[in-house]
Amino acid sequence: MHVAQKVAIVTGGGGGIGSALARKLAAAGAKVVVTDLDATGLDEIVRGDADHPGAALAVQADVSDDAQIASVIETAEKAFGPVDLYFANAGVAAGDELESDDAVWDLALDVNVRAHIRAARRLIPGWIERGEGYFVSTASAAGLLTQIGSAPYSVTKHAAVGFAEWLSVTYGDKGVRVSCLCPMGVNTKLLTDDAALSATAARAVTTAGSVLEPSEVAECVLAAMEAEQFLILPHPEVLEMYRHKGADYDRWIRGMRRYQASLLAQPS
């Protein structure tokens, strides 16, 4: 899969991985509709790409709303033509521990999982008809392993991985390509904002491995798409961790308990 001349939608594109993806897609010759709840970062993407005028269009939208997802897709089709690539990148790190507020669980489910499902419902039939399309899901290493300190984040990222896997199995022979991005620490607001992950959850991420820049992750994504690779792991060590988990689940859980205890023993 080469992205040149393709029509792409990137959600959560106001900053972080989404912004980096939108810039690299435009630079590679794609027509990009970039969307986010916060319009500020979107305007910067569109204005900042002087070398590729008209390659990016900003649309403010909330991907937790099915009607707004539909509107973004319609806007892309009117501006550039049928959507070829969809990056379900928007995500929230809502929730602490078990999280007692159902509204927080609903937000995590809507943004991290249902937004992927709703977009796929609208795009997959057309892709099957045309024999081509690419769905890229931004999940997390937490979706393969777990997220210490946040049940909503861990559960919804597991679900995102599961949905991407199901899409690939079900429609892969009909021209629909699927990739699932599962990084560990990335230098974004999701990791650094005090209102996102709890201190323990953030510490679990930053002490597990290196914190990459969004541009590094975006490079990995485009390279994996060219190879039509399902699992995208910017942190290669995640694969080894995942293998340990599968090889001896009970031992892995005991190890994670010890890791959690060490994090909780550290001063805030």
Q: Which residues are tagged catalytic?
A: 153
Give the three-state DSSP class for 106: helix
132 burial level (CB within 10 Å; 0-12, 13-18, 19+): middle
C-alpha 46/C-alpha 42 separation (Å) is: 7
C-alpha 91/C-alpha 157 separation (Å) is: 9
C-alpha 191/C-alpha 195 separation (Å) is: 10
C-alpha 161/C-alpha 12 separation (Å) is: 18
Handedness of CA 148, 154, 157, 158 (dihedral sign): positive
Bridge-based pairing state of the strands 176-181 and 231-232 = parallel
**8: β partners:** 32, 85
C-alpha 124/C-alpha 49 separation (Å) is: 30
Q: What tokens does 40 get?
A: 């500020």
Phi/psi at 178 (5° precision): -140, 135
Q: Where does the chain have alpha helices with state H? A: 16-27, 39-48, 66-79, 102-109, 115-130, 151-171, 189-192, 199-206, 214-226, 237-247, 249-265
